[in-house]
Structure 1
Amino acid sequence: MKIGITGATGQLGRLVVGKLKERVQTVELVALVRTPTSAVDLGVETRAFDYNAPLASALQGIDYLLLISGNELGKRAEQHARVLDAAKEAGVKWIVYTSLLHADRSSLSLATEHILTEKALTTSGIPFTILRNGWYTENYTASIPGAVQGGAFLGSAGNGRISSVARADLAEAAAVVLTTGEHRGRIYELASDQSYTLTDLAAELSKQTGKLIPYHDLSEADYAAALVSAGLSEELAQAFASFDVGASRGDLFDDGKELSALLGRPTTPLADVVRQALV
């Protein structure tokens, strides 16, 4: 059996490969990456693979394919459709796709491309499983250095509760699904056991640093402007500010505990991810 992992040199992909190596033999894994030389350190077979022009020949012999969603916003639905066509031509027997938490009802702009991909999967004729991944906790902890330096954690999420997940937990879930049981046809909503507000996150950060770092809730426009001043492009700043507003509406919340059920253990606590970010 061969398991192919697209985007294997990305932040999630590298973790998935590591988790899979703990569960199956290395010879069963194929890293599908744009630049194979960048994946040499993964210690598995590598093949050139581009979401913009995926070749069926690169998928020959692969039984199971983990399709990690691309990172080019606005292009992903078309890219993923091309990957599905290549997978069908190559005879891939099962596709596991990383989607977005509650993509079918989320107000996040990201949801549209995920839903289009999910629909393409259902009509592809290839057996599939959909992992609707929750927000990465690291998306928030990446702001910790700036918060510590500036003395406040900024956002526009209001009092919205967030069930974000450590990226490593989602990688482990993908590895579990690919190597155990019967998951075909299933859609999993993957979120943390624990939810928090950004006020809670700021309090945890204050506790661990010994400094008072309050949460300052801003309007969407003001938060976007703050992100631009921190170095983000206008486009990315507007996107991330809108994601925070989505959090205020509950788009990043889920209490179903499907992730911990898959893992067979509690999800990684927020405090642990904050602690790692401070190292």
Structure 2
Amino acid sequence: MYAVTGATGQLGRLVIETLLETIPANRIVAVVRNPAKAHDLTDRGITVREGDYSRPDTLAPALAGVEKILLISSTEVSGRLPQHRAVIDAAGWAGVPFLAYTSMLHADTSPARLAIEHRQTEEIIEASGIPAVILRNGWYTENHLLALPAALEHGAFVGAAKGGRFSSAARKDYAAAAAVVLTSDGHAGRTYELASDHAFTLSELAAEVSQLSGKTVVYNDLSGADYESVLTGAGLPADLAALLADADVAASRGALFDDGGALRLLIGRPTIPMQNLVATALGI
């Protein structure tokens, strides 16, 4: 049995779709906080089990009989470490023999504050003794494009990354990598730095949007503090805004760049170009 936590999230659903290409539905366990949101998965023959990161008592039963688990990192930044620990502990109690975890690019050395909980989670996994693989995912290209409507309206992306290069990849690429390590052998004990084939700056992203949309869009670089103010002004919680602004500053120092090609090699194909995702987001 292959279990995917956070299975109704955007990455979780893509992992399940990829697994279904080679694994029978009745061999997949979708671990979800709210089973009522997973009827579509049940209808396809996937086993849906309640497993809430914040309710440890639900986790061990959700992992019963599981041979491999993908722990998708919680979205509750600055509070996810105890949630991750609960899943790892439950995997140990349930006797799960293999665990994969979605970490952050260069989590062991990254200056970004977002890397701290990932680094700590990796340490908990190592201490658990469960054979594991660490998938250090770079930024999702789709996350850059969340600001696309505002950029088209105002003619600018904003950030604090200066000329830092982002090796951002499509969520579908990271899902494919997760499916590979779950369904093939030889990954336990390994750490993969997962990044796209072609990095880009935010200025290059803006130029691509301009070319494809026919509208002039530029990149306006701000200080970290000013970018944080923009994010809070857009309605983001203060803690999250601070972390995202800090990540941009870290990117200006190379924290979100990698050219090792591990993602391409793992999934056996080139990564999806940023230009393709921009075109999709624009409806082209």
Instruction: Report the AA paired with residue 54 of structure 2.
Output: N
**Which of 52, 55, 59 matches 1:53?**
55
Shift of 1:81: 1.2
2:39 maps to a residue whose letter is V
Post-superposition Cα deviations, 1:125-169, rounded to whole Å, max 9, x if no partner, equal 211010001111111111111000011111110000110010110
Q: CA deviation at 1:232?
A: 2.0
1:123 and 2:123 correspond: no
Q: CA deviation at 1:230?
A: 2.3
**For residue 268 of structure 2, what is the aligned residue in structure 1?**
264
| 69, 84, 90: which one aligns with 1:65 | 69
* Unaligned runs of at least 5 residues, structure 2: none
Instruction: Spell out the pairing of 1:10-21 with structure 2 (5 A cutoff).
Output: 10-21=9-20
Distance 1:41 1:228 in 2: 35
Structure 1 counterpart of 2:279, from 269, 275, 278: 275
Secondary structure of the 1:5 match is strand
Distance 2:79 2:155 in 1: 37
Q: TM-score, normalised by structure 2?
A: 0.95
The reply on whether 1:152 has 2:156 as its aligned counterpart is: yes
Structure 1 outlier segments of 4+, above 4 Å: none
Quote the residue 1:24 is aligned against: 23
Q: Is the 8 A contact 1:67 1:96 kept in 2?
A: yes
Asked if 1:98 corresponds to 2:102, the answer is yes
Letter in 2 for 1:21: L
Does residue 199 in structure 1 map to residue 203 in structure 2? Answer: yes
Question: What residue in structure 2 maps to residue 172 of structure 1?
Answer: 176
Q: 1:183-226: per-residue Cα shift (whole Å, max 9, x none)?
A: 11110000001011111000000000111111111111211222
The corresponding residue for 1:223 is 227
Give SS of 1:12's match. Answer: helix
What residue ranges of structure 1 are gaps of 5+ in the alignment?
none
Identity, % of aligned positions: 53
CA RMSD of aligned residues (A): 1.0
Of residues 234-243 and 154-163 in structure 1, the stretch that sits farther from structure 2 once superposed is 234-243
Which whole-Å CA distance do the structure 1 matches of 2:169 and 2:52 have between them? 28
TM-score of the two chains, using structure 1 as the length reference: 0.97
Contact 2:80 2:117 in 1 (8 A): yes
2:223, 2:119 → 1: CA distance? Answer: 28
> For 2:70, what is the secondary structure of its paired residue?
strand
2:242 to 238, 256, 269: 238
Task: Output the CA distance in 2 between the equivalents of 1:225 and 1:82.
Answer: 34
State the aligned residue count. 278
Structure 1 residue 57 displacement after superposition: 1.6
Answer yes or no: is the 8 Å Cα contact 1:142–1:277 preserved in 2: no
| Partner SS state of residue 176, structure 1 | helix
